[in-house]
Structure 1
Amino acid sequence: MVEREARPWGQAKRFEFMEWRLFWTDRLNRKDLELEFGISTPQASIDLRNYQEVAPNNLAYDSTLKSYVRAEKFEPVFLRVSADRLLLQLRALRTGAIELADTWFSDMPEVDVLPKLSRSVSDDLVRKILIAINRRRGLIITYMSLQKNSERIIGPHALAYDGHRWHLRAWCFEKKDFRDFLLTRITNAVEVGREDFHPVDDIEWSRFTNLKLCADPRLDEHQRKTIEHDFGMTNGCVEIKIRIALAFYFIKRHNLDIESLPPERQQFVLKNLKEVMDDILKAREDAKKLSQSAE
């Protein structure tokens, strides 16, 4: 394996780009480097020559294609190959979260994603939340709930995404506990200075539980094997470590507390549901005791 040497950031980034193009498209031209980084043709030629010195077995020039191509023994030195990252970029491109210029794609493949109901969060609100978290500041927020709108003082310390919505994890000075606030329901936020709250006391956030997910036993053997392959299960199950504060959302999202769904729709079950629910209840009880002792 070729070892990565310490190199200037700009050159290392160009080498990473070269490997990205070679790995994902099998092609690389000098023009690709010139257009992506705004460098001259001589500089692009120097980069290609220097890269070949570092990883001589990674690319070869195809005179027919008039392009460099990925060699059979290609082994990335500067690129961390990740299909997950590439697919996330395609999704972000399709939803408009990023532009093509923010990626290294020259051409975007045909992609579509399921439409999502709009959940708008203002840029200014997110900015205030990030500053409050980083500086340990309190916020006075106007919060919409299904019952009524209310004004609360909170001490934010973390953000969480449940797969559909973003939540703000914060100490609520009115309820005297840590809880989740949906970003889309916060209509206003004003900094109130440094507040006396301690993120380390958020037991549900700092404590973890393990979810033991197994292919639904009601499926036939072939169906179970398919589900096991889908989710990388070993011996029919996979364990996921998750914050207790997020376990409820995972269970709810995947209907793991509902037994009436047909197996083809359920696909997998939470084998240790009772243990997980016990962990959640224990964390809430411990958090309540800690809150009471601090009063």
Structure 2
Amino acid sequence: MTEDDDRRSWTLTRRFEFIEWKLFWEGLLNRSDLEDRFDISTPQASIDLRNYREQTGDNLVYDATIKAFVPAPDLKPSFFKASADRLLLQLRAWMVGALPREDLWFKTVPPVAMAPDIVRHVEPKMLRVILRAIRQKEAINVLYQSLTNTRWRMVAPHALAFDGYRWHMRAWACDRGDFRDFVITRVQKIGKSEAADYDVADDIEWNTITTLRLCPHPGLSEEQAAAIRRDYGMKGNCRSIEMRLSLAYYFIMRMNLDLDNLPPQRAQVSLENLEEVKKQIAEARAETKRRLAD
């Protein structure tokens, strides 16, 4: 198969995916939807619909009353994987300006609103330098504003991490001789760069995957606990959540899992293995310190 054949095959598959998306999420498809979205002719749209029906059987039915195609009662998508999480993420990305309107396949976007995102946006030029430092294993001199002071620091980022609110660079702190998280939006300026000397394997917190067991707060009634289990997709009485150990602290703080004085209805969830995770963090830091001392 030639490169042109591959491209034609991909674009046709994409149009078939669009057909199923419209049928699944909007329950309606017009020939003009294909024409407008992919800038194809009416005859080509008709051919696409015929070919689609030949490959999938009776997934779509023509409704003469509304003069449009509608999904069959037993619609079985072959080119499209239905994901509510993906669709809601796309709507959120569109609302914050990260996704253009034309990338949403809705003919009319449903009414949607979200609480404002108050985090600061990362400057593209700054992120570009950080990505280069990660790629080339460089240390960069940054004017960093912490909660206690503002000073120049040499840091060697090796990864990016998002804590649910803010973006961090996971980095080797050259002045402290350990691995730390630096909030990217607290970097005021970036100065010179130089080669860095560190081993990512020594960042035990980053390299360790831990499991947090999230459960309904024990102070809730059974009816309330059932609602929480449904909210969080818990199987049984808990949900196991895997993450890098270096991010567990932020997750615990964001979910108020370290506070034992909140009313059950306010807390809603608890961390079944909180003490175990705290111990893992302490042991990982101790192991990193031991390695660096050797």
Task: Sort the TM-score into its range (normalised by shorter chain).
Answer: over 0.9
What letter matches 2:43 in structure 1? P
Partner of 1:197: 198
The unaligned stretches of length 5 or more in structure 2 are 1-5
Say if 2:170 and 2:181, in contact at 8 Å, map to a contact too. Answer: yes
Q: Please, what TM-score do these two structures have when normalized by structure 1?
A: 0.92
SS at match of 1:163: coil
1:12 aligned onto 2:7: no
Amino acid at match of 2:100: E
**Residue type at the aligned position of 2:263:** P
Query: Which amino acid in structure 1 is aligned with residue 262 of structure 2?
Result: L
- Residue 193 of structure 1 deviates from its aligned partner by 4.8
- Name the CA shift for 1:135/1:43 in 2 (closer, same or farther; >3 Å): farther
Correspondence 1:103-252 to 2 at 5 A? 103-190=104-191, 192-252=193-253
Contact 2:119 2:165 in 1 (8 A): no
Q: TM-score, normalised by structure 2?
A: 0.93
Q: Where in structure 1 are there 5+ consecutive unaligned residues?
A: 1-5
Tell me the CA shift for residue 46 of structure 1. Answer: 1.6
The one-letter code of the counterpart of 1:129 is I
AA paired with 1:22? L
Q: Is the 8 A contact 1:132 1:191 kept in 2?
A: no
Instruction: Give 1:143's aligned amino acid.
Output: Y
Name the residue aligned to 2:3: none
Structure 2 distance, partners of 1:16, 1:30, is 14
Distance in 2 (CA, whole Å) between partners of 1:72 and 1:137 is: 58
Q: Deviations over 1:102-128 (max 9, x none)?
A: 221221111111112241211111222
The alpha carbon displacement at 1:247 in A equals 0.4
* Distance in 2, Cα, partners of 1:197 & 1:266: 41
Identity across matched positions, percent: 47
Question: Separation in 1 of the partners of 2:224 and 2:181?
Answer: 37
Task: Indicate whether 1:259 and 2:223 are aligned.
Answer: no
Please tell me the residue identity of whatever aligns with 1:113. M
Judged with a 3 Å threshold, the aligned counterparts in structure 2 of structure 1 residues 37 and 200 are, in CA distance, closer, same or farther, namely farther
Superposition deviation, residue 251 in structure 1: 0.6
What root-mean-square deviation, in Å, do the aligned CA atoms of Structure 1 and Structure 2 show?
A: 1.6
Q: Secondary structure at the match of 1:27?
A: coil
Q: Deviation of residue 190 (structure 1)?
A: 4.6
Partner Cα distance (1:127, 1:64) in 2: 55
Name 1:72's counterpart in structure 2: 73
Q: State the secondary structure of the residue aligned to 1:8.
A: helix
Paired positions, count: 288
Cα distance between partner residues in 2 of 1:139 and 1:75: 53
Q: Which amino acid aligns with 1:161?
A: F
Q: Trace 1:16-95 onto structure 2 (pairs within 5 A).
A: 16-95=17-96
Counterparts of 1:137 and 1:75 in 2: how far apart (Å)? Answer: 51
Query: Residue type matched to 2:280 in 1?
Result: D
Deviation at 1:191, TM superposition (A): 6.1
